[in-house]
Amino acid sequence: MNQNKVRTRFAPSPTGYMHVGNLRTALYAYLIAKHNGGDFILRIEDTDQERYVEGAVDVIYNALKLSGLKHDEGPDIGGPVGPYVQSQRKHIYREYAEKLVEKGEAYYCFCSEERLESLRKQSEALKTPFKYDKHCLGLSKEEIKEKLDRGEPYVIRQNNPKTGITTFNDEIYGTITVENSELDDMILIKSDGMPTYNFANVIDDHLMGITHVVRGSEYLSSSPKYNRLYEAFGWDVPVYVHCPPIMRDAHNKLSKRKGDASFEDLIEKGFLKEAVLNYIALLGWNPGTDQEIFSLEELIEIFDYRKINKAPAIFDIEKLKWMNGEYIRKLSLDEFHELAMPYYKKALKKEYDYKKISELLHTRTEVLTDIPSQLDFLDELPEYSIEMYIHKKMKTTYEIAIDSLEKALPVLKSIEIWNLDNIRDNITKLIEEMGIKNGQMLWPIRTAVSGKAFTPGGAYELAEILGKDETIRRIEIGIEKLKNEQ
């Protein structure tokens, strides 16, 4: 393995959900690696067996595949430093934990849950953070051996000093110093023999040659304990890149429990994966220019992790919709049509010229799931009020609307080849003959054929898609509605 090569990792827990923060971590780790011609590694951190969700590893694979973040090493494709699943590396963690015990940097702890609970209650009463009191640090080798021989349950704890300071550097937050007296002796190996997340990721990051560790800022407070482990082993500390949180609003983080969308949810809601990835890249990072639309290749080219912000990023669904609309407009008509077809089939029971519908919707769609609501008048004319025929800007009145529809009816009936050009030519000629403004004819026709104030196309386009018979039927209904109200 090339010692100078940049290597990053994405190390999710298989909990069945790829939230936006997870994906951003993966994206930034990927971009750092690829910008520097390095490797992007996938590691599955399943040491917390209680949170393990069946099928969750597939969710991780699918999300990475869908997003285009292709890993160079991982459980599914192998690599030189596997296995890449933590539960398959148990023996490695124990070996390294025991090395720390030998060095005096860790110790066996046999404290019962009752004793620990009592310590927690004392901390609560004193309103101080819970911190283990090093009770088992003083056990002699003989006492430890006796307890182990008796099969007493135990954990292995890190032995942090009570005095002095620990300093580390983060690329985003700068130099951070903490008093060692604040550091808890965190558990390294749990009573079930599994490592804690905090211990396993330090061991794995070193053994896998990870040069840049990208993770959420919530891990900043644990980093001094990680550094003490690196120092205890005499290992180089990787470059830390802690990312700011992604918030739903000024006070609340994005949360699965509160129903915030996962990456897969956003795709199901009609967002394009390229747009989601582009938007997520800008949640906490800025290229320093006004450009907002980037392909993955462009992001690789320009990504500089030093430009990640410290401030929390707000997930703005409206901004994502805008960006998604930009991506949809960049699609070719054929590409858009292919993506839209499942929505047409779901929304419409009758057959139409779907390609013509796509021509109308291509530049008017922000999110694919908006499509059905734009077409809800096609199969069946909705109930509508005749007040819709009155439009100040179009200068329509009930009298003008009736006159326009009654004059348009025979003209439309006379069209033999029903297409957009013929509809437009015949109605335009009628407008000229009547000496009225375009809107005084086209607004009543559009209202009559759609029953809606907002439609994806104008009178001509809607008439063409609905077909001659249905257009005439709806205009006759419109005339009748207007006459009944007079």
Binding site for ATP: which residues? 256
- Domain segments of the chain: what residues? 1-74+244-330, 88-243, 331-376, 378-485
Per-residue pLDDT tens digits for 33-75: 999 999 999 999 998 777 777 888 999 999 999 999 999 999 9
State the CATH architecture for 378-485: Orthogonal Bundle (1.10)
Instruction: Convert the pLDDT of each residue in 208-228 to its tens digit.
Output: 999 999 999 999 999 999 999
The CATH homologous superfamily of the domain defined by 1-74+244-330: HUPs (3.40.50.620)
Q: What is the CA radius of gyration of the chain?
A: 32
Summarised one tens digit per residue, pLDDT across range 281-310 is 999 999 999 999 999 999 999 999 999 999
In tens, the pLDDT along 404-416 reads 999 999 999 999 9
Domain 1-74+244-330 identical in fold to domain 88-243: yes
* Residues 6 or more apart whose Cβ sits within 8 Å of residue 210: 7, 8, 9, 41, 204, 238
Domain 331-376, CATH 1.10.20 — does that match? Answer: no
pLDDT of amino acid 51: 76
Predicted local distance difference test score (pLDDT) of residue 486 = 63
Query: What is this structure's pTM?
Result: 0.90
Class of domain 88-243: alpha beta
Q: Look at residue 257 in the predicted model and tell me its pLDDT.
A: 67
Tell me, what's the pLDDT at 252? 84
Which residue among 256, 310, 429, 483 is the active-site one? Answer: 256
**What is the average pLDDT score of the chain?**
94
Residue 366 reports pLDDT greater than 70: yes
pLDDT digit string (tens) for 445-460?
999 999 999 999 999 9
Give Cα separations from 39 to 32, 60, 83 (angstroms): 9, 18, 16
3-state secondary structure the chain: CCCCCCEEEECCCCCCCCEHHHHHHHHHHHHHHHHCCCEEEECECCCCHHHCCCCHHHHHHHHHHHHCCCCCEECCCECCCCCCEHHHHHHHHHHHHHHHHHHCCEEEECCCHHHHHHHHHHHHHHCCCCCCCCHHHHCCHHHHHHHHHCCCCCEEEECCCCCCEEEEEECCCEEEEEEHHHCCCCEEECCCCCECHHHHHHHHHHHCCCCEEEEEHHHHHHHHHHHHHHHHHCCCCCEEEEECCEECCCCCECCCCCCCCEHHHHHHCCCCHHHHHHHHHCCCECCCCCCCCCCHHHHHHHCCHHHECCCCEECCHHHHHHHHHHHHHHCCHHHHHHHHHHHHHHHCCCCCCHHHHHHHHCCCCCCHHHHHHHCCCCCCCCCCCHHHHCCCCCCCCHHHHHHHHHHHHHHHHHCCCCCHHHHHHHHHHHHHHHCCCHHHHHHHHHHHHHCCCCCCCCHHHHHHHHCHHHHHHHHHHHHHHHHHHC
Clarify whether 310 is annotated catalytic: no
